[in-house]
Structure 1
Amino acid sequence: MNELTTRVISGIAMVVVALMAAVLGGYYFAFLVAAAATGMFYEWMRIVRGWGLHWSVGGFFYCLLPALALLWIRDRSGDQGLSLLLWVFVVTWSTDIGAYFAGRRFGKRKLAPTISPGKTVEGLWGGMAAAALLGAAWVLSTDLNWALLPLAPLFAVAAQAGDLFESKMKRMAGIKDSGSWLPGHGGLLDRLDGLVPVAVLTVAAQAAGLA
């Protein structure tokens, strides 16, 4: 089984689990979010071992805030909680997928060669386009606020920034992946680094009346 096939199968399994927990909500979703945040913090502490207390404290909030944001979106947004949570997932996942395939097909200009040599400017644009199109499709098929339409590509940039931040940490630590839990994807931080800023920014948008 080649790397792409492994990555796709593993990715589909993670999407199914996330969607099932999101739809069920309640303790099911809370357990998944808590487990993911705990795993992320474990990986973070392995990466920053010996870097100082501020890195440990920063990692605690890095993992806690998006977890609280996801729970807030699902359970504190009225009848639209599930729709908004799924929009967060759609934007994050479409950014990753669009950036991956656009980068492989059209990538020429390096986005951040000293941090993540594999990422390209064309991949970034592909991720933004995918997030804009699929995010808009979801908004228009639900009763979500249309103010989310221009936010999708902006949040895609934030997702890519989250990816680059984690890549920078791994480069500083001299490792390739944050863990080996997820076949074809590495660790939880590797898979969820884009979701972190998107979840937090969505709550900020909601507080501002844009979601």
Structure 2
Amino acid sequence: MALAPESFADLATRMITGLVLAGVGLTAVWAGGWWFTGLVVVIVATLVWELVRMLGGGPNRALALGGMAAVAILSSKLLPPGIALPLLLLVAIAGIGVLERNRTLYLVMTTVIMLAGFGLILHRDSFGFTWMLWLVLVVAGTDILGYFAGRIIGGPKFWPRVSPKKTWSGTIAGWVGAGLIGWVFMSLTGSGGELIGISVALSMASQMGDIAESAVKRRMGVKDSSNLLPGHGGVYDRFDGLLGAAFLLVIVESLTAFPPPPV
């Protein structure tokens, strides 16, 4: 099968940026505590800033809402969850009074951002390095296998109107990769077989996060959420999948025993 040269034209830049991000991220994941919380605060604030800019909000409004998001996420570490939750949702509600248009999109997307950020901190604090690494690898495996399978195998597009480059082969490869990662962690930790299903579900949620952001960009007529990350676009372009997975994981951990016990 012949591959067009442009299939991997951006691979070198993506890999360099990806390695830097992976180094920073894994260091924070390993360190935990305030190091990890600080990284989440920076990411969440940047995500809200990028979202507001994409939705047509001016720079001052973007900075104000991004700063508000940082304070709210920080509060989730300092305050009991029941008190922090209203502050997290206030960031989404505040956009209704600040933005002149696209309020519904901001409301929905910011709610996901804030609860996912809260969930990441809670997950790392509650379950430690091993299970935070599992989550990161599920999302990264979904993205990496999807990228290579989509470009090598190709085939029918998944949803060309929203995400022209995403293929069914890449989508399914992401599920398979996530299932394998779940199996590895199940074997290493002695967890129950449900972990494989949870891993695949988080892979799907990761892809949904990617598709949701693609839909917003297509509606707003922008290619990337920003130009902060060479080869990847903006921070939202890099972390959209993690947002989707983390958001679902908050629900999973409230409905099931986690990690899944062996049967």
Which has the higher relative contact order, 1 or 2, with Cα contacts under 8 A spaced 6 or more apart?
Answer: 1
User: What are structure 2's unaligned runs of at least 5 residues?
Assistant: 1-8, 57-99
Deviation at 1:156, TM superposition (A): 1.1
- Counting matched residue pairs gives 207
The answer to whether residue 86 in structure 2 is matched with residue 36 in structure 1 is no
Q: 1:113 aligns with which of 131, 140, 160?
A: 160
Deviation at 1:209, TM superposition (A): 1.1
- Pairing 1:58-69 to 2, within 5 Å after superposition: 58-69=108-119
Residue type of the alignment partner of 1:193: D
TM-align CA RMSD: 1.5
Contact 1:43 1:179 in 2 (8 A): yes
The answer to whether residue 249 in structure 2 is matched with residue 202 in structure 1 is yes
Q: Normalization by structure 1: what TM-score?
A: 0.92
Contact 2:116 2:244 in 1 (8 A): yes
Aligned-partner Cα distance in 2 for 1:197–1:41: 15
Residue type of the alignment partner of 1:57: L
The answer to whether residue 217 in structure 2 is matched with residue 170 in structure 1 is yes
Residue type of the alignment partner of 2:165: G
- The equivalent residue for 1:161 is 208
Contact 1:115 1:168 in 2 (8 A): yes
User: What are structure 1's unaligned runs of at least 5 residues?
Assistant: none
- The equivalent residue for 2:90 is none
Identity across the alignment (%): 34
- The equivalent residue for 2:6 is none
The answer to whether residue 19 in structure 2 is matched with residue 12 in structure 1 is yes
Contact 1:102 1:123 in 2 (8 A): yes
Aligned-partner Cα distance in 2 for 1:71–1:53: 27
Residues 43-89 of structure 1 show CA distances to partners (whole Å, capped at 9, x for unaligned) of: 11011125333333333322211110000001123xxx221111110
The answer to whether residue 115 in structure 2 is matched with residue 85 in structure 1 is no
Q: Normalization by structure 2: what TM-score?
A: 0.75
Residue type of the alignment partner of 1:59: M
The DSSP-based 3-state class of the residue aligned with 1:51 is coil
Deviation at 1:29, TM superposition (A): 0.4
Aligned-partner Cα distance in 1 for 2:232–2:131: 26
Deviation at 1:146, TM superposition (A): 3.8
Contact 2:116 2:250 in 1 (8 A): no
Aligned-partner Cα distance in 2 for 1:145–1:181: 40
Aligned-partner Cα distance in 2 for 1:144–1:35: 33
Aligned-partner Cα distance in 2 for 1:9–1:135: 27
Deviation at 1:109, TM superposition (A): 0.4
The answer to whether residue 230 in structure 2 is matched with residue 180 in structure 1 is no
